[in-house]
Structure 1
Amino acid sequence: MPAIAEELLLLLLDNASAQPALDPSRRRRVLAGAVLLDLAYQWRLRPAAPGEPVPEGRLIALVGPDDGDPTSGWAWQRLARKPRTAKSAVAKLQRDVETRLLDQLEYAGLLRRTPLYTKRFRRDYAWLLTDRNRAARVRSQLLRVLITGTEPAPATAAVITLLHTVGGLDELLSFDDRARRWVWQRAAEIASGSWVAADSDLAEVNLAVVAATVRAALR
């Protein structure tokens, strides 16, 4: 199962500057949202339903199989203590989520960290993709869905939903004015959850429901 947060960060790093796209505030929020969607797709996070002894819509961490993803496991541990609103969950994760994901991708051999020597007290790094194949595949899937109207896979729908919500698609994908209007409309349609089919499994439905909750927290 593809990790939504990993694929989103690889896409953000797929540029000549070797620096992640989007300003730091939006980037951390959208990456925190992506980790929440990873948990939702793994069926380890769901919103409270009417009639439960928890306010409706609060996100509940569920006990389930750990897929071994370090960042998802860390996030689950932080959210398991009590049900939270999506806004509170994003706030809980956003401070450290980018660093954890960068370390995870570096450990997996997908990134190479290169120090940048500046006059600032804090050392900065360039993050070089060691292999662009996965990032290129994610970009290609996004373009195919947004331009040709192909139905998205769940992870692709999640990435589009997150980027559309924070206004990040224009910064990652270049379109002329006519194409931009079409892409915006298509992205809004996907973000609304229209990609979920009548025969979708419960994990996909849960992903779409949690995505709607997370969207409201990211605006």
Structure 2
Amino acid sequence: MARIAEDLLLLLLDNGAAQPGLEPGRLQPLLAGAVLLDLAYDCRVRPALPDEPVPADRLVVLTGPPPLDPVVRPALALLQEAPMTAGVAISKLRKHTEDRVLDQLLRTGQIHQISLSHNRIRRNSYAWPLASRTRVDRVRAALLAALFDGQRPDPVTAAIVSLLHAVQGLGAVLSLNDRGWQWVVNQASEIASGTWVDDEKMADVNLAVTTAAVRAALA
């Protein structure tokens, strides 16, 4: 399941317009990076280790069963072709990842699609209102707890905060005064540094080191 990518997009759709709160130039690479982190949290990709015959900045595929999720499957297939940097992977995935995540949320009944325009030349525009607030409320509560209450974030929440912080996108999901923003930026920076990681959990460690590579590519 592409939980990081799905939770992230649900947060970005949670507004009065029911449209992503980021422009395509930031949204598309952000979601592509999120899919890479979904694979990392599932321990299917990671940055190359120093003793491997691959440059250290390349993402490599780890063995495991074929993913069933239609969002992450193309990303894994791409990385199976050859090790590549997070930046190259994001550039190759960014064009279609948003549509894949939207399609999956539609197929699973988590959002609706409303057409806002019909144009035979330009791409039609849509709104995607949430079918239920249960999941997005849970995601937002975890985000706020990590940023304002000092709670240790779960890995998915930490990944979402780190990604949004990398593209200066927290403003798309939060509305704060200047003092509040300074607090949030400081907390997000700390989370992005990996202070949340449980070193005894391989999935946490793998997600954290891959997040660092993805953040560098998004910056």
Same fold (TM over 0.5): yes
RMSD over equivalenced CA pairs, Å: 1.4
Hey, what's the Cα distance between the residues in 2 that align with 1:77 and 1:198?
Answer: 29
**What runs of 5+ residues in structure 1 fail to find an aligned partner?**
none
Secondary structure of 1:173 counterpart = coil
Cα pair 1:2 1:155 within 8 Å, conserved:
no
Instruction: Report the counterpart of residue 156 of structure 1 in structure 2.
Output: 157
Q: Is the Cα–Cα contact under 8 Å of residues 157 and 195 in structure 1 kept in the other structure?
A: yes
Give the TM-score of the pair, scaled to structure 2.
Answer: 0.95
Report the residue type matching 2:114 in the other structure: T
Aligned pairs for 1:12-91 within 5 A: 12-91=12-91
In percent, how many aligned pairs have the same letter?
51
Query: Which is further off, 59-68 or 91-100?
Result: 59-68
Aligned to 2:111: 111
Cα offset, 1:164, TM superposition: 0.5
Match of 1:192 in 2: 193
* 1:122-141 equivalence runs, <5 A: 122-141=123-142
What is the one-letter code of the residue matched to 1:216? A
* 8 Å CA contact 1:144, 1:150 repeated in 2: yes
CA shift for structure 1 position 122: 2.3
Report the more deviating stretch, 93-102 or 188-197.
Answer: 188-197
Q: Which runs of 4+ in 1 moved over 4 A?
A: none
Structure 2: any 5+ residue segments left out of the alignment? none
Alpha carbons of structure 1 residues 47 and 90: separation in structure 2 relative to 1, 3 Å: same
AA aligned to 2:137 is: A
In structure 2, what is the equivalent of residue 3 of structure 1?
3
Contact 1:44 1:64 survives alignment (8 Å): yes
Give the total of aligned pairs: 218
Give the structure 2 partner of residue 168 of structure 1: 169
